[in-house]
Structure 1
């Protein structure tokens, strides 16, 4: 078969099989399909019937550029979304070059736009307390909330956590994360109590042979979408407009660093493959420390007559740059 004579759609079908053979998750495969479908259906994109040997950087650049000014179904995408499109396209065309579908590595020199950075304000003690009060009579949702705050689990990881992976005596919870990477997180004593309370409230007959820790009302698996709906409603009930499930993960990571946890350990707990994402949490921890420092202006301290060094050291430590001994999240006032 002459690979270069194949169409874009033909090549992508083989690429999909290749990635499935590598063990990529259905979610990742669907992400690639979305990226390529956008390219093939765009008025300024490349149709699926186009020959791979005829493709050029120019038409691909035109498609990517259109995403920022209404080329995506009449909508302009954010820099972070365009970044994802470029990364997906580059992955496909890099594979296509290696498999001899193209004579050059298309999009090799195109750098994806940098996503806009927005400051995230994590949950404070008063807001966490408010959430706990709102859910005090809802054992399942309270156990979910405390589990996510205590472990930093993603919403899908929480929904799919199993009873087999939970060791209540040691506080260990084994979960399957992104990229089918298994890891163990630590669950605090208070959270374990909420989980036990919830499990006792659910009769075994309601589980429908379901091994998940958290189940739906009908006894079936609790889906990611159903869990997202729980937080959408909780946002309104708690009157915390910025609340969403992932904010609990941000809060866990920031609090962990503020308590003296080190970046390498946080990387493992969060299930990241590199320290790049953890850098964002170091930034969040530093910003959170600055907000709560009560004003550490050097000149203000000099004029007050207080030694500047007495105030700078704690501020730096609060930002997570000093490796104190990590404490339990509940000892640090999580709940």
Structure 2
């Protein structure tokens, strides 16, 4: 069976198990695999070819062909995703098509996961200011007047992401029925297989609740969707990119708000078990990344404020 045909069958089987965005990521991996190996008979693919495929992704010879035109190198984590997705494909082929597994000895790429980065308070204030600006400029430099509802929506999205630690997909799936504006409670329900999204409750603080309520109130007579924020993930990313350019803030993406929530939750005395439940993680592994940062903050703060060291510098004790 040709590789394209096998991939088609694999995607048919997985379509019900993954979200649309996850399926797009798998399609990207498959395009890269076909670009390197070609549309050959799947049973003729060798272990050496798969090893060289991963090496190719890490080399200067490879230039990503993303749907959005971005040609920047793949991150180590995304190369690791290629490894996992390729293993998944050939595991499926072994089970369904009864062919040998050429991926058995496929070495996993080694990489050190980058520490999560958080926004500073100043960066958040600049983004919110940019969201609330009535007059703005397009990329072409033309001035235009932003609608109040658009600015209010953008502010509400930023504050909601920052205050709840939700994934962008989870935020955009929230319906009006899921939100209690009096208490600030939001019910998060599983999506598809619940592989990522776990049922839980998150809270909106006073400022975030007010911003969301104002946005909803202004849209009361024009709203055509039951979703709180009827936008696509790509539309939110484009909106954040525009605000980032106006606010002169670098590296702005939806997941960074999740990192910021988690890091500041721990800095302000929250515990890892509660954070795990709020973020919807199945284990503490991911939460430990945030804990390392918070503990480093404690060490730095102690070095700055240790009374013994401060007094000893002035006059040896």
TM-score normalised by L of structure 1: 0.75
Equivalent residue runs for 1:46-65 within 5 Å: 47-52=38-43, 54-65=44-55
Between the two structures, name the one with larger relative contact order (CA 8 Å, sep ≥ 6).
2
- What corresponds to 1:114 in structure 2? 110
- What corresponds to 1:13 in structure 2? 8
Distance 2:308 2:93 in 1: 60
Give the length in aligned residue pairs: 289
Matched, 1:92 2:83: no
Distance 2:246 2:11 in 1: 43
Equivalent residue runs for 1:149-164 within 5 Å: 149-164=162-177
Cα distance change on mapping 1:112 and 1:275 into 2, 3 Å = same
Is the 8 Å Cα contact of residues 82 and 112 (structure 1) preserved in structure 2?
A: no
Is the 8 Å Cα contact of residues 122 and 251 (structure 1) preserved in structure 2?
A: yes
Matched, 1:130 2:126: yes
Cα distance change on mapping 1:187 and 1:288 into 2, 3 Å = same
Is the 8 Å Cα contact of residues 63 and 71 (structure 1) preserved in structure 2?
A: no
Mark the runs of 5 or more structure 1 residues left unpaired by the alignment. Answer: 1-5, 215-220, 307-335
Cα distance change on mapping 1:118 and 1:32 into 2, 3 Å = closer
Mark the runs of 5 or more structure 2 residues left unpaired by the alignment. Answer: 65-70, 134-150
Cα distance change on mapping 1:117 and 1:51 into 2, 3 Å = closer
Equivalent residue runs for 1:229-308 within 5 Å: 229-290=238-299, 295=304, 300-301=309-310, 303-304=312-313
- What corresponds to 1:314 in structure 2? none
TM-score normalised by L of structure 2: 0.79
**1:79 CA displacement:** 2.3
- What corresponds to 2:148 in structure 1? none
**1:88 CA displacement:** 0.6
1:189-220 deviations in whole A, cap 9, x for unaligned?
A: 2211111111121232x212x01112xxxxxx
- SS of alignment partner, residue 173 of structure 1: strand
Distance 1:167 1:202 in 2: 17
